[in-house]
Structure 1
Amino acid sequence: MITLFSFQFTTADLLIFLLVAVFVGMSKTGVHGTGMVAVPLLASVFGGQLSSGIMLPMLCLADVMGVWYYHRHASWEHLKKLFPWAVIGTVFGTIVGGMIDDNIFRMIMAVIIVGSVIIMLWLERGHKEDIPDYKWFAGLTGTAGGFTSMVGNLAGSVMAVYFLSMRLPKNSFIGTTAWFFMVMNWFKVPFHVFAWHTITWNTFLLNLSALPLIAVGALIGIVIVKNIPEKLYRWFIIGMTLIAAIMMLV
């Protein structure tokens, strides 16, 4: 066993944790599906709710990198519609998340991700115009995004549905997503500290130790996004989302 900031790791568990750090960095510079794959990986080491609190500071650190690189491409018109509803979803997620066990956690997240994949495929088959840019859709998506982000850091699939349906180009998609998650992830920190007690001094030190690998992942993500065509990028997001759903169900 390997002891790191009071946590006991097997060699395999430590390698998973380090791989998660790389995936988190990649997710914040455009390879969004890797973030959804990272969630079940980390849950396999720490369990549901605790893994959510351990991952959050990693996400906050990586968010800064993503926003720094893509901040010019954000669509604030869409963000203003989403933020108030996402706050409501976060509060609701805090309440519900404190009452569920790991099995229910995995089931809820798997259902949400599978549903998101189905909608993404439906949109890609030529139905983008069937979801208008109405306030009710932003409200529904923002609430669902805040809830799933709080419960399991898995709002990536939900928000991908919204931003893909809004037909944002690749860089705008990445920049808008980066700003959304940076604001919401930092907003979630007090709930994890004072309500769930899943962020402590030891978990924060554990996160800091992973910072170099988060930076490596961020650089890898930038390279991938630069070299992937627009249409292939959209299918890549769908494919990685589907992999995350399968991992949650297994």
Structure 2
Amino acid sequence: MLDLTIGGWVLAVIAAAAVGLAKGGLAMVGLISVPVLSLVMSPVQAAGLMLPVYVVSDIGGLLAFRHHFDVRVLATALPGALAGIGIGWAGAHVVPVWGVTFIVGAVGLVFALNALIRPHLAAQRRPPSYARGTLWGVLSGYTSFVSHAGAPPWQVYVQPLRLPPLIYAGTTTWFFAICNWVKLIPYAALGQLNASVLSAAALLTPVALIAVWAGLRLVRIIPEALFYKLITWGLLAVSLRLIWQALA
């Protein structure tokens, strides 16, 4: 079992709840999980602890959104994401985590500011594209591997598609569920899924599953316009947090 103080376990519970809310459809909330845990452990250890929680929570999300996802969007983004995971595995001991964190934050910040300053452009609907899907899929897969921070690149690609909220949430859940199951292989190979991590993750998983249910209720009652505004502002806040974390 991990040696955490009471305060550390409180932060771990908050991180697990954030994971569950993300799998319930509020994708941006999950980005705070690793940064929160990084206050009491290394980012690498935090990412290893959260991955099993993500994987189990994915099951609840997949059951909830089993009829709500866009196959075309997944087909355009998943190949790049899997390549990005492979790149992250190959460079696990080379690229500093802070550099990746900064890039993720910068990309998300630019996109969020553009959407807020020029909302008429953000409202324009785009069709799925293999070129854009591959580009942002690689970035999402890579940053998801490093610190479970694949949401900002994913949002940059998917938000302009203007999917209905349930389809948006379901497609996001399926995308990251597949990525997380694939990530189990390199994480295990790198020694990030040891017995103490898995036992701690088992304690946190019920918290995440309850939060999945809460996220599902929220995403079904939030109006579409407000849904996208919340995503944009959430992306802005998280991007600034990631930039600050990288520079600190």
Normalising to structure 1: TM-score of the pair? 0.89
Distance in 2, Cα, partners of 1:13 & 1:95? 31
Contact kept, 8 Å, 2:76 with 2:129, in 1: the verdict is no
Distance in 1, Cα, partners of 2:102 & 2:174:
28
Amino acid at match of 1:30: G
Q: Give the C-alpha shift of residue 127 in structure 1.
A: 4.4
Moved more, 80-89 or 238-247: 238-247
- Flag the 1:152–1:113 CA change in 2: closer, same or farther, 3 A: farther
Matches of residues 209-248 of structure 1 in structure 2 within 5 Å? 209-248=203-242
Q: Distance in 2 between matches of 1:105 and 1:143?
A: 13
1:57 to 52, 58, 65: 52
Among candidates 129, 133, 138, match of residue 138 of structure 1:
133
Structure 1, 221-230 or 63-72: larger mean CA deviation: 221-230
Partner residue, 2:197: 203
Q: Contact between 1:86 and 1:145, CA under 8 Å: does it hold in 2?
A: yes
Where does the alignment leave 5 or more consecutive residues of structure 2 unmatched? none
Contact preservation (8 Å) 1:89, 1:146: yes
Are the counterparts in 2 of residues 56 and 185 from structure 1 also a CA contact under 8 Å?
Answer: yes
Letter in 2 for 1:159: W
Give deviations 1:220-244, integer Å, cap 9, x for gaps. Answer: 1112112211110111112222222
Alignment RMSD, CA only? 2.0
* Equivalent in the alignment of 2:34: 39
Instruction: List per-residue Cα deviations over 1:138-190 (Å, max 9, x = no partner).
Output: 11111111111111111112112222111211010011111111111000111
Contact residue 125 and residue 162 of structure 2 kept, 8 A? no
Q: Report the CA distance between 1:40 and its aligned residue.
A: 1.0
Task: Kindly report which structure 2 residues correspond to 1:85-234, keeping only aligned pairs within 5 A, or say none.
Answer: 85-121=80-116, 124-129=119-124, 133-194=128-189, 196-234=190-228
Count of residues in Structure 1 that have an aligned counterpart in Structure 2: 244
Q: Identity over the aligned pairs, expressed in percent?
A: 23
Q: Aligned to 2:67, what secondary structure does the other structure show?
A: helix
CA pair 106-180 structure 1, distance change in 2 beyond 3 A = closer
Task: Please identify, of 122-131 and 28-37, the stretch whose mean Cα deviation from structure 2 is larger.
Answer: 122-131
The alpha-carbon distance between structure 1 residues 57 and 88, as it changes in their structure 2 partners (threshold 3 A), is: same
One-letter code aligned to 2:9: L
SS at 2:201 equivalent:
helix
Question: Which ranges in structure 1 are unaligned for 5 or more consecutive residues?
Answer: none
Pairing partner for 2:17 from 16, 19, 22 = 22
